[in-house]
Structure 1
Amino acid sequence: MAFGDSTRYQGKGAMSEINVVPLVDVMLVLLIIFIITAPLLTHSVKVDLPKASSTPNLTEPEHIEFAIHADGNFFWSGEPVTLDALSARFAQTVAESPDTELHIRADRDAHYELVAKVMSAAAQAGISRIGFVTDPSTE
């Protein structure tokens, strides 16, 4: 028996088919391993949890409804207020509730300078959440 005998394969062509039997064997072994180990990976502890109502208890932070009219008048939750008294009222509100939000409703024809002054006074008092209320209707 000679080890380099190539006369045995001279008449045969190269094999062009892929042998899938070893691939199927490996896949079956992996499938069996995963089937055995998958239940071991879930470490669940049975706990009898208390029952609660399904309605969420949402507590919204206090917010200030602030309106600016086109003629320059300011309204704090419907009550007229002057620009000079804003800093003190903002500081008092922040002292009572630090997470207070400011909702500004500015008239379409209100001057931007007035809006900027209100925002500046609120920021200096410590109000960090300022939002603008707009009309969602399209024209």
Structure 2
Amino acid sequence: MGFKQNLIRTTNHAYNRLTRLPPLGSVASHHTLVKAITYTQNGDPTEVLKLREFTLGPPKANQLGLKFRLSTLNPADINTIQGRYPWKPTIRKDLIEDQEFYVSGNEGLAEVTSLGSELDPKQWKIGDWVIMVGGSNLLLIRL
């Protein structure tokens, strides 16, 4: 099998549907305490970024559970936080009751930890590695 066939499959899953941190298990049935770097308004990253802890449930039927191994804050992310980037992320209203915030970062390396019930286990496998690219696409890497 060629390099591209073995390493790359692009899937369009909305960034907001993909959890940035993991629910664990094959089809997770429990909740997991996670952390994310967030912000509620644009501004100087040294002033507006905040580490939040919250609980994630299992993935919805059409979602993957992901455990992020590496996430970056690159210049485009910094510009987004500052409000200078043309693209604006969707505010999250579903992670902590009565709180709205943005989860920072558009790229990262994650491991698939669980599959929603509607996802094909022949296409996605627990242990697959995925790279978030551009906030809306996954690049699948099978090792």
Which structure has the highest helix share of the two?
1
Which structure has the highest strand share of the two?
2
The TM-score range, normalised by the shorter chain, is: under 0.3
Q: TM-score, normalised by structure 2?
A: 0.21
Higher relative contact order (CA 8 A, sep 6+): 2
Larger Rg: 1
Q: TM-score, normalised by structure 1?
A: 0.21
